[in-house]
Amino acid sequence: MNVVVNREIYGDGHHEYWVLLDTAPVSEPGRVRQDYMLRTHIEERHRQLKCFSDLEAFTSRAFSLVVHQVVFVLLTYSLLQWFLLRSGRKELNPRTRTRIMQLLRPTVTVIVLYYQNYVAYLSPLEHQELVLTLDEEARKKILAKTRRLRRNLAQQLQRPRSP
């Protein structure tokens, strides 16, 4: 049995000692403490999975459905963590899934116009101003095109293709 004695020094100057026991040989005491600090992160992740992953709301008694639900929840959690890591948003890792989704939502609405080889990024108000300041002939042309697109979209939604 190996013992690592740790001393915590607080902001007000007082300090406390605590120990870590380990069965593995200790070559670097600082490394043992770092490994122990992972425990709090693991416990927090476990709490998030347990409390915020909708597992308790799943009411089926069929074992296969419960297994599938757990697998999909864990897969979703893993993919979300992988996405956060790959996109450079590691600071969101300790957050709950609900909070992560709120923080990942786009916060800016942009209208993108493409014409030939040109691109314009406009806010909704800039787009509205642009449309309202067009001359009468251009406005009528845009209105006709918009109505045609809206009708076509409405017809497509009424008769969706079968898969």
Q: Record the pTM.
A: 0.43
Please tell me the distance from the alpha carbon of residue 52 to that of residue 96, in angstroms, as a whole number: 7
The residue behind tokens 């017809």 is 155
Whether the predicted pLDDT of 100 surpasses 60: yes
pLDDT at 135: 94
User: How far are the Cα atoms of 59, 65, 67 from residue 62, in angstroms, in the given order?
Assistant: 9, 5, 9
22 within 8 A of 4, measured Cβ to Cβ? yes
Question: Which amino acid is present at 31?
Answer: R
pLDDT tens, position by position, 105-140 = 877 889 999 989 999 999 999 999 998 899 999 999
The confidence score (pLDDT) of residue 145 equals 92
Contacts of residue 139, defined as CB under 8 A and 6 or more positions apart, other chains included, come to 131
Q: Does pLDDT of 163 surpass 60?
A: no
Question: How far apart (Å, rounded) are the C-alpha atoms in residues 130 and 132?
Answer: 6
32-85 pLDDT per residue, tens: 888 888 888 888 878 877 777 766 777 788 889 888 888 888 888 888 888 888
Is the predicted pLDDT of residue 89 greater than 80, yes or no? yes
Pairing of strands 111-115, 118-122: antiparallel
